[in-house]
Structure 1
Amino acid sequence: MSKQISIPSVINAILSGFEDSQKNYQEWSGGSWLWEAPEYLICSTVAKNISEIEGSKFITLENGSTKTLEDAGARGQGEIVNVF
């Protein structure tokens, strides 16, 4: 059976992803801060850090909400209702 990853290890990967993104962008840009960087820099760095945690995981980027629900086995029967 695959080893599950803990919530604290995911949180640490997220926080270190922000820190790594800041350091990299500051170096690459000659001193600019992360708030000036494209959002995908943070997303891809966080995903990389989570992927390096030992244990079972499934990571995708830019994977629409319907596909995400299907992959998670969270899609019920019937249509998705738009409430707006």
Structure 2
Amino acid sequence: MPTCTTCGNDYDDSFLVVKGGEEYVFDSFECAIEKLAPRCAKCGCRVIGHGVQHGKTIYCCAHCAHGAGAGGLVDHD
């Protein structure tokens, strides 16, 4: 059985994700998010939605971006 990259669980219904040429096997979306989703540069939460980006820095929302000094970013118009 395939083994989850994050937790090591052997699971027969796992799935494969390819990112940047690297292959990862996961047993759940939770494990995939933990391994692959970026963290907000301000609050540290996992960014699993769209988030906002200033240069190469990722934030979960415009509020965190503004709190970190990245102005001009909005969540929506």
Judge same fold: TM > 0.5, yes or no: no
Structure whose residues are more often strand by fraction:
2
TM-score, scaled to structure 1: 0.29
Q: Which has the higher relative contact order, 1 or 2, with Cα contacts under 8 A spaced 6 or more apart?
A: 1
Structure whose residues are more often helix by fraction:
1
